[in-house]
Amino acid sequence: MMSVQQMVTVDGLQVPIEGERNLLELIRKAGIDLPTFCYHSELSVYGACRMCVVEIEGRGVIASCTVEPQPGMVVRTNTEKLRAIRRTIIELLLANHDRDCTTCSKNGGCKLQDLARRFGVTRVRFGQSDEMRPLDESTPAIVRDPNKCILCGDCVRVCSEVQGVGILDFAYRGSYSMVTPAFGKNLADVDCVQCGQCASVCPTAAITIHSSTDDVWKAIHDPKKKVVAQVAPAVRVALGEEFGHAPGWAEPGKVVAALKRIGFDLVFDTSFTADLTVVEETAEFLERFASGSLERLPQFTSCCPAWVKYVEQYHPEYLGNLSSCKSPQQMFGSLARTYLSRELDIEPEDMYVVSVMPCTAKKFEATRKEFAPDGRPDVDAVMTTQELARMIREAGIEFDDLTVEAFDLPLGMATGAGMIFGNTGGVAEAVLRAASDILEPDKSAGVGNSKKLVFEAVRGAEGVKEATLTLGGHEVRLAVAHSLGAAAEVLERIKSGEASYDLIEVMACPGGCIGGAGQPNPSHLEVRKKRAKALYDVDTMQMLRKAHDNPFVKQLYDRFLGKPLGDASHGLLHTEYGTRRRIEGEDIKFSLEEVDGRVDVGVCVGTCCYLHGSYDLLRGLMDRVNEAGLDDKVNLHATFCFENCEHSPNIQVGGEIVSAVREEDIDRIFKEKILSRLQDQ
């Protein structure tokens, strides 16, 4: 029997201490739902909102999330003083909050609204701020509304601690405090990868998903359009949560039926093009692996657009290591405009392609110029799981009463390999299944053979998983990372020489696509585990579990693509990426190297120089160089830092530093420092 020294008394109940990291976790274990705004079990303890305050005998009122449970503690969670504190906190938050709740996208799902109702806050004694800050709608993925921010810091911590990007932080003090990107810029003008994890943890509507539903409704009601949908595998194990089902409840037939009832003409499965991705990516990997080229190994997966953008921005030296395969979403879009329109006898311009995805970064991906070969995007609109649920409700459809329907063919049949793409490790496992068959053929077993299908080493919730497998007599070293913070760890180990890999799978969101920001909230670890298990269960129930066994994929190659990595497949299913290091939306070349035969001009864009106008200097010099037709003679680039901050902004021309430069000095410097050097050569 447990002694009293190992117990905490909570509202008269004896609660055992069993490794909880703080008193809040112990109290919740006792079945008491203490309210919080700023607490997430997967983030650091912040203790800002003070909603979880308790009274501890001998210590007074204190935030329970900041206190370690101690044996013998006597805790009260529901005294009159505590209720008054919580009500006051909510009133103060509401006083500084845009209270136009009726038209808010989070109405009915807002934590502030929910707690105001729970604690009986029916009026606010404090005046409301008249200042309205502008919305940030600069990205296709997410929207920032600073007027609804309650300064809980959840977005700041998830961006920094989980994703390692850190593009949001607190600025100013007191009543002027706000969460913002650097220098008050819009998200499109900083290094946001548009993963949307900030939106997934935001308790209000301060950060939300940029909705595409109006555009989709417009297309559905256009009689000239043939509206087709593709549905990602992670959607089917999460959509039910929006209609009262437990996480992991999967009924893809109802998803298809709902889309048909909404007005979609055809509904296909993105898992089909996930199978296609496996075939192409496996062929690419085996080609690289056979060549043994250290410059091209490890091969990184390229299915996650937030990860691709992260590499473009922070690690362009690894762009050549990214698989050239388009993501399943974009492969589908490419095939829809070509193969599918031909098979269905539909003009490509009359087809409106909609993706239903668990991910916000897919909205950004669909707008990339690489995926609009004729000026029109291959994918017209991307909706999240949340947006699909909203459309179902708007259409008045009783989701549970729907009769199941099947995905349409030919792009509607998938193997288990394509379905596990939604889980972290799923892409790697699907490639391993294909590679093992190619490197270790078992002709006696045939399709659906008993060769190993499950690779446990790449499954699980760990941030980084590593494995060394023997395939065809060769050792294959691989790593799987989910969250960009975990990916950064892997890259650091590679750079330091601590680790070496042949294949690396990266997904930006915790848990992979099942934890995407477009999924129903909350999306914490236990929820993600249930969604992941459901996808693995779906895989287990499939008769075909290897991508290259999909008969419709084989038919696609026979009729249209030819062979993996062939001319047709490479033109339609592959792409390339470039560096995205930039300032203020402009592509800027960064360099620390001199270029032979050219005048080297570096403009410092460190903080001090930037704040004093160095970006305008860089743009001005770029204009002068372009106007003079000297691009091939001047190596103009942004750089950090000349350690001369007190005399900023600074420019270096051929090794000479020119300080305290102003915009009116641009013409003089161009003539005296750059043109004169060219004339002397």
Give residue-wise pLDDT tens across range 254-279.
999 999 999 999 999 999 999 999 99
Q: Name the range with the highest mean pLDDT among 66-75, 148-157, 256-265, 667-676.
A: 256-265
Which secondary-structure segment (H or E) carries 531? helix 525-541
- Give the pair of three-digit tokens for residue 637: 């680039």
CATH of domain 586-680: 3.40.30.10
Confidence of residue 637 (pLDDT cuts 50, 70, 90): confident
Mean pLDDT of all residues belonging to the chain: 88
Whole-number percent of the chain with pLDDT over 90: 53
Q: Which CATH architecture has domain 89-209?
A: 2-Layer Sandwich (3.30)
Q: Distance (Å, rounded) from C-alpha 216 to C-alpha 274?
A: 24
Checking 160-163 for CB contacts under 8 A at 24+ apart, the result is 161/43, 161/44, 161/485, 162/42, 162/43, 162/197, 162/483, 162/484, 162/485, 162/510, 163/193, 163/195, 163/197, 163/483, 163/484, 163/485, 163/508
Contact between 417 and 278 (Cβ < 8 Å): yes
Rounding to the nearest 10 degrees, give the CA dihedral for residues 45, 47, 52, 56: 100
Confidence of residue 469 (pLDDT cuts 50, 70, 90): confident
Whether the per-residue pLDDT at 448 is higher than 50: the answer is no
Q: Distance (Å, rounded) from C-alpha 422 to C-alpha 504?
A: 16
Catalytic residue of the set 242, 281, 387, 429: 281
Ranking 4-8, 32-36, 200-204, 556-560 by mean pLDDT, the lowest is: 4-8
Active site residue 513: yes
Buried/exposed 343-372: b ≥16 CB within 10 Å, e otherwise: eeebeeeebbbbbbbbbbbbbbbbebeebe
Residues 6+ apart with CB under 8 A from 178: 133, 146, 149, 151, 170, 171, 172
Whether the per-residue pLDDT at 40 is higher than 90: the answer is no
Active site residue 672: no
Query: Within a 10 A sphere around the Cβ of 94, how many other Cβ atoms?
Result: 21
Query: Within a 10 A sphere around the Cβ of 322, how many other Cβ atoms?
Result: 20
- Catalogue the E-assigned strands of 173-287: 178-180, 207-209, 226-231, 266-269
Catalytic residue of the set 159, 513, 604, 609: 513
Active site residue 303: yes
Active site residue 594: no
Instruction: Tell me what pLDDT residue 445 has.
Output: 45
pLDDT in tens, 60-96: 999 999 999 999 899 999 999 999 999 999 998 888 8
HEC sequence for 41-109: CCCCCCCCCCCCEEEECCCEEEEHHHCCCCCCCEEECCCHHHHHHHHHHHHHHHHCCCCCHHHCCCCCC
Instruction: Tell me what pLDDT residue 556 has.
Output: 92
Catalytic residue of the set 370, 456, 462, 492: 370
Active site residue 293: no
Active site residue 546: no
Report the sign of the C-alpha dihedral through residues 651, 653, 658, 661, in that order: negative
Active site residue 466: no
Would strands 656-658 and 651-653 be described as parallel, antiparallel, or unpaired? antiparallel
Instruction: Tell me what pLDDT residue 591 has.
Output: 43
Query: Within a 10 A sphere around the Cβ of 636, how many other Cβ atoms?
Result: 23
Ranking 167-176, 291-300, 352-361, 551-560 by mean pLDDT, the lowest is: 291-300
Q: Distance (Å, rounded) from C-alpha 441 to C-alpha 443?
A: 6
Confidence of residue 444 (pLDDT cuts 50, 70, 90): very low
Nearest to 151 by CA among 128, 180, 120: 180
pTM of the model: 0.81
Active site residue 609: no
Q: Distance (Å, rounded) from C-alpha 421 to C-alpha 485?
A: 20
Ranking 240-244, 386-390, 396-400, 565-569 by mean pLDDT, the lowest is: 565-569
- Catalogue the E-assigned strands of 101-221: 142-144, 169-171, 178-180, 207-209
Which secondary-structure segment (H or E) carries 341? helix 341-343
Whether the per-residue pLDDT at 524 is higher than 90: the answer is no
Instruction: Tell me what pLDDT residue 607 has.
Output: 67
Q: Is 634 helix (H, G, I), strand (E, B) or coil?
A: strand
Span 149-171, average pLDDT: 92
Contact between 537 and 422 (Cβ < 8 Å): no
Would strands 266-269 and 474-482 be described as parallel, antiparallel, or unpaired? unpaired
Residues 6+ apart with CB under 8 A from 246: 240, 530
Whether the per-residue pLDDT at 163 is higher than 70: the answer is yes
Confidence of residue 581 (pLDDT cuts 50, 70, 90): low
Catalytic residue of the set 303, 304, 325, 359: 303
Confidence of residue 673 (pLDDT cuts 50, 70, 90): confident
Span 108-113, average pLDDT: 88
pLDDT in tens, 13-23: 999 998 888 99
Instruction: Tell me what pLDDT residue 517 has.
Output: 94
Of 3 and 316, the one with more pLDDT: 316
* One CATH from 3.40.50.970, 1.10.3720.10, 3.40.50.300, 3.10.20.740 for 4-78: 3.10.20.740
Instruction: Tell me what pLDDT residue 597 has.
Output: 67
| Domain residue limits, the chain | 4-78, 89-209, 214-573, 586-680
Contact between 169 and 232 (Cβ < 8 Å): no
Instruction: Tell me what pLDDT residue 68 has.
Output: 92
Nearest to 590 by CA among 553, 532, 555, 641: 641
What amino acid occupies position 112? L
232, 318, 647 from 252: Cα distances, Å: 10, 37, 63
Span 202-210, average pLDDT: 93
Regarding the domain delimited by 214-573, which CATH topology (the fold level of the hierarchy) does it fall under?
Answer: Rossmann fold (3.40.50)
Evaluate the omega torsion of the peptide bond into residue 522 and state whether it is cis, within 30 degrees of 0: yes
Q: Distance (Å, rounded) from C-alpha 159 to C-alpha 114?
A: 25
Catalytic residue of the set 323, 436, 569, 614: 323
In the block, residue with structure tokens 């005048």:
599
- Measured distance between the N- and C-terminal CA atoms of the chain, rounded to whole angstroms: 89
pLDDT in tens, 544-576: 888 888 999 999 999 999 999 988 988 899 998
Instruction: Tell me what pLDDT residue 596 has.
Output: 55
Whether the per-residue pLDDT at 195 is higher than 50: the answer is yes
- Give the pair of three-digit tokens for residue 161: 């601690």
Catalytic residue of the set 106, 148, 362, 673: 362
7-10, strands of its sheet edge to edge: 13-16, 7-10, 74-76, 53-56, 60-63
Report the sign of the C-alpha dihedral through residues 42, 43, 49, 52, in that order: positive
Which secondary-structure segment (H or E) carries 242? none
Span 277-284, average pLDDT: 93
Catalytic residue of the set 241, 242, 280, 284: 284
